[in-house]
Chain A
Amino acid sequence: MNIILYLLPIAMGLGLLGLAAFMWSLRAGQYEDLEGAALRILDDDDIEG
C-alpha cells in the first residue's frame, strides 16, 4: 500500500496544476472572447494572400 504515498501527492499535484492553468487562462483573458477564438484558428498566418 506504500504506493499510495506516492500516487496521492502526484494526483493532488496534477489537480493543482490544472487549477493553476485555469487561473492563468482566466487572467490572460481567454474567456473574454469565446467566439473569436474559434474563428482565429481558421486563419492561415503563414499563407500569403
Chain B
Amino acid sequence: MNERIDYSAFVTRDSEGHANLDLAIDGITCAACIREIEQGVAGPEVERARLNYTSRRLSLTFSGDGADPSAAVERLSRLGYKAYPFTKSREEEIEAKETANLLKRLGVAAFATMNIMLLSVSVWSGNVADIDNETRDLFHWISALIAIPTVAYSGQPFFRSAIRSIKARTLGMDVPISLGVTLAVGISIFETMNSAHHAYFDSATMLLTFLLAGRVLDQIMRRKTRAVAGNLLALRGDTARRIDADGGVTEIPIMAVKAGDLLQIRPGDRVPVDGVVVDGLSDVDASLVTGETAREPVGEGAQVHSGTLNLTGALMVRAVAAAENSLVAEVNKLLDQALMAKSRYVQIADRAAQLYSPVVHATAALTMIGWLLLGASPHFAVITAVAVLIITCPCALGLAVPAVQVVVSGALFRSGVLLTSGDGVERIAACDTVVFDKTGTLTTPDARLVNRAGLDADLIALAARLAQSSNHPLAKALVRDNPSAARIENVTEEPGRGVRAELDGVRVQLGSAEFCDAQDLVAAALASEPDATPIVLRRGDDVAVLLLRQILKGDALQVVADLRKRGLNVMIVSGDREGPVRRAAEALGVSDWSAACRPGDKTAILEELKAQGRRVLMIGDGLNDAPALAAAHASMSPIAASDLAQGCADALILGDGLRPVVSAVSLSRKALAIMRQNLWLSTLYNLIAVPIAVMGFVTPLIAAVAMSGSSVIVTVNALRAREGRRVSKAAASKDVAATARMREALS
C-alpha cells in the first residue's frame, strides 16, 4: 500500500525557479490548526508554508530543485490532517483574477469618492455661507480632476457590459447605469465651466462604489463555494496505476490521468475514469454508479464508468476522458448551474428589467422635455432627468431575486444540499408530501449482524478476519460491523463464492451456502429471519450462519419527525420485499408505505398523489427511481446515486445522512418568502421614488444615495436566507461537516 506516488504532475515553478505546490487540506476546524499545520509541515526541503483558511489550502514553496511533496504530505497525515496536491481549475484562476480586478476598481472608486465628498461638503456649506466663486470653482475643478479618470477606470466593467448589450440590441441593467454616470459627469463639467453652484461628481463616483462593492461580495461568495467543492475532489486522493510505454507501472494521482492513458485496474480497485476495456475479463459492481448492487461481466471492448468497482479479474483500460475533464468539469458544471440557474422569479425579474430599461429611458427623456415645455431652464431639466435615470436604476429590482438565489445556494451547500435546477428552491418550498425510496436512501450501505446473540464471539471474530481479505460488499459490511479483528495471511478468494484459508492446521471458509456446503442450515436460519441476507462460516466441521440486515441511516427517525413538524406527509415507496419495507416503516413510524413497486408503480403512485392535489418531494437514488424523480413536483437524490437519478433530481444530498432534506425544505421556504418580499420592496421603492424625482425634488446625489439604499435593503434582506445568525466558528464547522459528508459520498 505504501508505494511511492508520483506527485510531480502537481508541482509548478515560479519565475525565480522555486518549486511550488498547493495542497488541499481536510480536517481544519479551528484557529489552532493554522499554526499546527504551518509549523508541522516544516522540514529541510520546505522553504515556506502558508495556509489559506478560507479555501482550506496550503501553499508550499520548496528550496532547491528536488521537490518531493510526499514527505510533506506524510508529515501532515501524522498530524492528523489529510492533504492532497491540488491544481486549480481554469475557472478558479479566471475568477481569482476577476475578483482582484474588481477590488482594484472598487478601491479607486472608494478613495476618489471620499476625497470628492471632502470637497463637496465644503462647497455645500460654503454655498449657504460665504464661499467665494473662485474657491468654489477651484474645488469643482479638483473634483473633476479626480472624478474623470476614476469614472473612466472604475466604470469600465459597466461600460463594457452596456456596449455589449447595446450591440446585442437589448437594454441591460448596465445601460442606464452607464448613461447616468456619463451624463452626471458631463453636466458637472459643463456646470463647472459656467461657474455654477452645483456639480455632481460625487454622485457618479459614489454610485460606482456601491455597485462595485455589490459585485465584489457576490464574486467572493462564488469563489468560496467553488474552492470548497474543488478541495473535495482533490481530497479523494485516489491514485491510478498507469502502464507506461515500457510496460512498467507507475502510480499516479487520478487527477493526472489523461485521455488515452493505459491503466491497470486490479481486482478490488475502483475504475478511476471512464474508459474502454482493452484486455482482461472480470465482473464489475456498478453500485456507486447505478445505485443497485448488481454484478456485470465485462470483457474486451466493454465500457466501464468511473466509480465502478472491479471485483474479480485484472483489467487493462484505456481512459477515454481525462479525470480532470470528467470530475472537475462535472462538479463545476453542477455549481455553475446552481449559482447561475434562473428560477422562475429570476426570469420574472429579468423580464421586468428588460421592460423596465426602455421605460426608464423614456421617463427620463419625457421628464426633460416636460420641464423644458413648462419653461424651466435647460440646466434644471437635464439635472432632473439625470436624477430620474439614477434613482430608477433597476438595481433593487434586478437584485431582488438573484441575491436571494445566490445566498440560499450557498446556505444549502453548507448544509449539504447542492441545487442542480434553477427553480428547485421554489418547487421544494411548495411541496406538502415527502416520498422516500428505502434501499440506499433510508438505509446505509452497511449491514448489521442480527443473530449475534446466537453465535460464538470467536466465530464472529474469525468471520470478520476472513472477510477483510474480500472485496465483496457483504464481506465489507461484516468488517465494518466488527472492525477490530486482525487480518489473516494467505487467504485465497474464489470470486463470487467466498474466501478460504488454513488457520492452525484447520481449514476455514467464509462465503455462500453452496461454497460452505450448508444449504439446509441456511434455509432453517432464514425461516426465522426472512428479510436477512446469510453468510456462512465453516471451521473444520463447525458451521455458523451469520445473518445480516440493512440498517436505517442514523438520522432517519429524527428527519422524518422534523419533516412532519414542518407539516409534511411522509411516505415510503420501495422496490424491496414487503418484510424489510414494513420493518423500516414501523421503525420510522410511517404508516403510509408501499412495497415491491416497480418503477412504473412508483410513478403511478406519484400520479395518484398529484391527482389528489398534493405536491410531492421525491427522494430516491437508484436507476429504478429515475422516472419517479422526474414525475414528482420536486426531487432530491444522494450524490452517491446513479447518474440517471442525479440527472432527474432538482438537488443532490451531499453525504450519507438525510438531515439535508430538512434543511432544503426549511431554507427553500424561507428563501421563497424573502424573494416575494424583495419583489414587493423594490416595486414599492420605485412607485414612491420615481414620481418625486420626476417632480424635480431630487438632486443626482440624493438619487444615488436612495438607489444605493434600496439595493442595500434588498441585499440585506436576501442575506436573511442564510440559516440563523452567522457565527464564524459554527460556519467553519459546518464547512468541515459538509466537506466530510461530500468526501464520504465520493470515496
A residues sitting closer than 8 Å to B (CB atoms) are: 1, 4, 8, 11-12, 15-16, 18-19, 22-23, 26, 31-36, 38-40, 42-43
Contacts and interface: CB of A to CB of B under 8 A. Distances in A.
A16 B118 CA distance: 14
Interface in B8-51: 30-32, 34-35, 51
B302 interface: no
Given A11-B118, A39-B31, A40-B34, A4 B135 contact: yes
Contact of B100 (A12, A16, A26): A26
B337 interface: no
A49 to B, nearest CB: 12
Interface of B: 30-32, 34-35, 51-55, 99-100, 103-104, 107-108, 111, 114-115, 118, 132, 135, 138, 142, 146, 220, 728, 732
A24 B103 CA distance: 12
B129 to A, nearest CB: 13
A4 B104 CA distance: 30
Sorted nearest first, the 8 A-B pairs with minimum C-beta distance are A36-B53, A39-B31, A15-B115, A19-B111, A33-B52, A22-B107, A35-B54, A33-B54
A1 B135 contact: yes
A33 B55 contact: yes
17 contacts: A12-B146, A15-B118, A22-B107, A22-B111, A23-B107, A26-B100, A31-B100, A33-B52, A33-B54, A34-B54, A35-B728, A35-B732, A36-B52, A39-B31, A40-B31, A43-B32, A43-B34
Contacts of B108: 19
Nearest to B104: A26
Contact of A39 (B53, B104, B114): B53
A15 B142 contact: no
Given A11-B118, A42-B31, A35 B53 contact: yes
Nearest to A36: B53
Nearest to A25: B107
A44 B146 CA distance: 44
A37 B646 CA distance: 38
B728 A38 contact: yes
A36 B30 CA distance: 10
Contact of A36 (B54, B104, B118): B54
Contacts of B132: 1
Given A35-B54, A40-B31, 6 more contacts: A12-B142, A15-B118, A26-B100, A36-B51, A36-B52, A39-B34
Contacts of B55: 33
Nearest to B55: A33
Contacts of B732: 35
Contacts of B103: 26, 31
A39 B142 CA distance: 42
Contacts of A23: 104, 107
B107 A19 contact: yes
A18 B34 contact: no
Contacts of B35: 43
A22 B103 CA distance: 10
A11 B115 contact: yes
Contacts of A42: 31
A43 B31 contact: yes
Nearest to B729: A39
Nearest to A19: B111
A35 B118 CA distance: 33
B114 A15 contact: yes
B696 to A, nearest CB: 33
Contacts of B146: 12
Given A33-B53, A35-B732, A26 B107 contact: yes
Nearest to A20: B111
Contacts of A16: 111
Nearest to A15: B115
A33 to B, nearest CB: 4
A12 B115 contact: yes
B111 A32 contact: no
A26 B216 CA distance: 13
A8 B44 CA distance: 55
Contacts of A40: 31, 34
A11 B31 CA distance: 40
A18 B114 CA distance: 11
A8 B30 CA distance: 48
Contacts of B53: 33, 35-36, 39
Contacts of B728: 35, 38
A18 B115 CA distance: 11
Given A8-B142, A11-B115, A12-B142, A36 B107 contact: no
A11 B143 CA distance: 13
B31 A32 contact: no
A22 B138 CA distance: 28
B149 to A, nearest CB: 12
Nearest to B145: A12
